[in-house]
Structure 1
Amino acid sequence: MKDPKKPRSQFQFEELAGLKSGAELRAWERAMDAQYVSGPGEYVAPAGQLVVVDHSAAATVAPHDKRPFDDLPAIWRAVRGTEFRRAETWSSLGSGEPHQVYAELVPQPGNPYDSTAVAIYLNGHQIGYAPASYAEHAHWMVRQLNVLGHRVLVAGTFFRSESTSASAQMFVALPTFHVLRRHMPSIDTMTKRFGVLWQQLSEEVRAAVVAGASTSAMTRCPQS
């Protein structure tokens, strides 16, 4: 039996995070390859941008870094699905040698195949996805940072061969969870913000919110 207190490497993390395998993984891969496109209003790019992993931090992490997951600023992962993207997606980037780029993490809550999917965007175009085992945990934090007004950017490396028929490859330095949490407001800050918002609501709206919360709580409670 594994010791739950043992520091987790990125490989142990993927196992504990519920990495899909076998038929389930193949089904997920086929679904992701269907090139789901976010619906209108599902994601509106915030005005600000937040680089959570820059190239300096990414350079401190090896592709197969064996340090404990929580000691790393990021983990390098291949972007899934780049082979299904149209050639014009890469038209602004040269071929024949790797390019350092910044990619955007974009949550897709409306994705019918995976409601916690995190798409990877480059220059405003969707190029693929972060691994499902990572996305199911990072999705909510990225969405909250979006609500706070930030586009979430990470360092990446892009490569396309000189052959016009070859697909592109891209790797991104995905931020570990303690790095994402570092950019989140504290509970005290969120409580104060909620208090200000609550004071701005009319008495009628407050009463409706309280009534709705009470009804929801009664629905969840088992009847005696």
Structure 2
Amino acid sequence: MDDYDPAFEDEWSEGYDRPPGEYTPPVGVMRVNGSTSLHNVIGFSNQDFLGSLPLGTSIDVEWVPEPGNPADANAVALDIQGVRVGYLRAGMARDMHSQVVEANRQGFRVISSGRLYREQNDYIFGGSDMPGDSDVDLDESSYSALILDLQGSWPEHLSAWLSLSDEVRGSEYFETEWYVLDYQSKYQDELSALLGDADFVVLSGDLSLGTTVRGMSVDVYTGGIYVGSIWPRKRYGNERLIASVRSGSAVGLVHVKRWSDNVAAQVSVSSESDRGFLWLDQRLRALEEQRRSWDRYEEANKFKGESFDVWGLRILELKNSGHYAEALQMLIPVMNAEFQANEIIDRDTSSEFTMQAAIMYRKLKDYDNEVRVLERFFESRRDWDGPVALVKRYKRACTLARSRKT
């Protein structure tokens, strides 16, 4: 029954009339224009009304809980201009229903933007950015399906925003993504002082850029008190927060919670500027451009027709036999090709070739070129400087290069 959806049951959903008083629209509005497209089903009722709405134009869609729906007490209906046109998919509604009910309890109607499209013969109609043959027209005499692209957020984002105080969250909805502060054991006294007698607080925080041995970080303050930093750990997605602060997001939220054996802290900034929403036609265009980029990458991801791995084995063989100059003569153009290939798909290049080049330049006492090859690697990085070993090697190479000139 996991895939069961009330909108598929004409007997229950299309025929279900909300009794008076089941839903009274609150006065306030929580406009959930987030970063996620929510799956839904439409078109099982009010076909004429849906057909009268313009394609590819933003319209307000209200999320309405239907606890009395016999098909599913967790149903979340979708209304346009007070007319029910569909439902959130059942799997999403299970988690979203309680958040919509809580928003209503706090005095908010839950509204997001939607756009209607028509699908016919693998073509999507309704957007100006559609990929494919622009000369294809909708055949009004043949079947076509309506699609509602619904801009929204995951339930946990709604839950986080609704749990904040009015003072902290303000009047505009925003998505929150929490990042765990590193080395919190050092700051237990400061975090405990922020909690006082409470078990949980969310406070306004000031965020600034800092530095660590791994590269750029985010230092977190609240009430003028330093409570820790977010280090550049890619597997936790910390580079997104660092990039956000780097682009000007200096104010965030600090979430402090008391556990049985410690006090833990997380930090967040509004992700509105980090992850913009793309409508269906824009997503299809982006996917098409991404596919073309990968095709170009596959063509560029080699040197003289052979993969970088094959060249790497040849270079390593020359290096291990002490033929450093010959190995570098082969390695540098291979490195250039690898950098250029990764730029196509906006991906960081592995440090392996750079490390091998730096080692061989050091062996040859060519410190200037060692510095240059390391600097190129660092300049190509998008989030953090790179392995600690390369950072240390760079500092030493700079010292050696300067000493040779004095």
Same fold (TM over 0.5): yes
The answer to whether the 8 A contact 2:79-2:85 is kept is: yes
Find the counterpart in structure 1 of residue 95 from structure 2: 137
Q: 1:85 aligns with which of 38, 41, 46?
A: 46
Runs (5+) with no aligned partner, structure 2: 119-124, 126-137, 168-406
**In structure 2, what residue type is equivalent to 1:80?**
V
Identity score, percent = 24
What are the equivalent positions in structure 2 for 1:21-170 lying under 5 Å apart?
21=3, 25=4, 29-30=8-9, 33-53=13-33, 57=34, 73-77=35-39, 79-91=40-52, 93-94=53-54, 97-159=55-117, 163=140, 168-170=146-148
Deviation at 1:29, TM superposition (A): 2.5
SS in structure 1 at match of 2:41:
coil
Inter-partner Cα distance in structure 2 for 1:137 and 1:176: 9
Bigger mean CA deviation after superposition, 173-182 or 28-37: 28-37
Higher Cα Rg, which structure: 2
Judged with a 3 Å threshold, the aligned counterparts in structure 2 of structure 1 residues 49 and 27 are, in CA distance, closer, same or farther, namely closer
TM-score, normalising length: structure 1 = 0.55
Q: How many residues align?
A: 145
Structure having greater relative contact order (Cα 8 Å, sep ≥ 6): 1
Given that residues 13 and 69 in structure 2 are in contact (C-alpha distance below 8 angstroms), is that contact kept between their aligned partners in structure 1? Answer: no
The 1:27/1:115 distance shift into structure 2, 3 A limit, reads closer
Letter paired with 1:105: W
Could you say what the CA RMSD is over the residues aligned between the two structures, in angstroms?
2.9
Indicate which of 163, 167, 186 corresponds to 1:185.
163
Give deviations 1:130-171, integer Å, cap 9, x for gaps: 000010111011001001111101121113577498664312
- Contact 1:33–1:81 (CA under 8 A) maintained in structure 2: no
Note the residue ranges of structure 1 that are not aligned, 5 or more in a row: 1-18, 58-72, 190-224
- Matching residue within 168, 174, 188 for 2:152: 174
Check conservation: 2:42, 2:148, Cα contact below 8 A.
no
**What is the rounded CA distance, in whole Å, between the counterparts of 1:98 and 1:28 in structure 2?**
23
Q: TM-score, normalised by structure 2?
A: 0.32
Q: 1:172 to 1:181 in 2, by over 3 A?
A: same
